[in-house]
Amino acid sequence: MTTIDPSSSQDSASVSVSASAPAPAAAPSAASTPAPAPADAAAQQQEQPQPEQQQQAAATPFDWIGGEPAVRTLVDRFYDLMDLEPAYRELRAAHGTTLADARDKLFWFLCGWLGGPDHYIERFGHPRLRMRHMPFSIGIKERDQWVACMDQAMGEAGVPEALRVRLRESFMGTADWMRNRGG
Ligand code: HEM
């Protein structure tokens, strides 16, 4: 079973999904794969890859999610929600007045973290995410709001459900590592 390794985004040398963990693991559940009507089944199988086939074809989570346009959509939705939703008030308050830099940086970072191009490392070097988050006060509330906001964004941006479940777990591992105060 392969997983995204949250530690790869922390303080290890590589932010990319490691070679031993190229893609989120198991096949999507049957529940997420609506069965085609019998008459359509053969034609649909030929014309449209089913979710299982899409995952098998995707070498990395970056491919599976849909490449750079999909990562950009996800990040934009994430920061839009952070700005708009009262449920993420404390998370928003931890950020500066503008989210423009954060949008670009998270986009660059996630491309590499998902196994795509290393835009972030090319610009800034080693991510050292925990160290870079030290100036911000991050406790359980901020961690949980970050993960909830990202999960809502994944849902609204149309991230495939099986991938969303795996990423949520990986994001939680990384966000928990970012905590620098109790409570
Ligand atoms: C746990 C709750 C988190 C809080 C409260 C938080 C907050 C912040 C803040 C305030 C910034 C600065 C934004 C700016 O430059 O304007 C930032 C930057 C950043 N965050 Fe987070 N963050 C959290 C979790 C995460 C997670 C889980 C990831 C990755 C999966 C992440 C990735 C990044 C990246 C890549 C940057 C840019 C770092 C830089 O180059 O300065 N953050 N975060």
In angstroms, the CA 138 to CA 161 distance is: 28
Predicted pLDDT at 58: 84
Residue ID of nearest Cα to ligand 1 atom 33: 106
Here the tokens at position 143 are 């961690």
Q: Could you tell which of 178, 179, 181 is best to mutate to test the pocket of ligand 1, judged by most ligand atoms within 8 Å of the CB?
A: 178
On whether the CB atoms of residues 80 and 99 are closer than 8 A, the answer is no
Q: Could you tell which of 129, 150, 168, 176 is best to mutate to test the pocket of ligand 1, judged by most ligand atoms within 8 Å of the CB?
A: 129
**This prediction's pTM:** 0.79
CB within 8 Å of 84: residues ≥ 6 apart: none
pLDDT for 13 beyond 50: no
Q: Measured between alpha carbons, how far is residue 72 from residues 67, 84, 103, 136 in Å?
A: 9, 18, 9, 24
Indicate the class that CATH gives domain 6-177.
mainly alpha
Region of 20 on the Ramachandran plot (φ > 0 left; ψ -120 to 50 alpha; else beta): alpha
Summarize the confidence of residues 130-155 as an average pLDDT.
97
In angstroms, the CA 113 to CA 8 distance is: 8
Using the mean position of ligand 1's atoms as its centre, give its distance from the Cα of residue 95 in Å.
9
Residue with tokens 């070679």: 19
Here the tokens at position 81 are 């929600």
On average, the pLDDT of the chain sits at 80
Q: Which atom of ligand 1 is nearest to the CA of 174?
A: 27
Sign of torsion, CA 163 164 170 174? Answer: positive
pLDDT digits (tens, 9 = 90+) for 30-77: 333 233 333 344 444 445 555 555 665 789 999 999 999 999 999 999
Q: Is 4 in the pocket of ligand 1 (CB under 6 A)?
A: no
Predicted pLDDT at 57: 74
Predicted pLDDT at 183: 80
On whether the CB atoms of residues 139 and 179 are closer than 8 A, the answer is yes
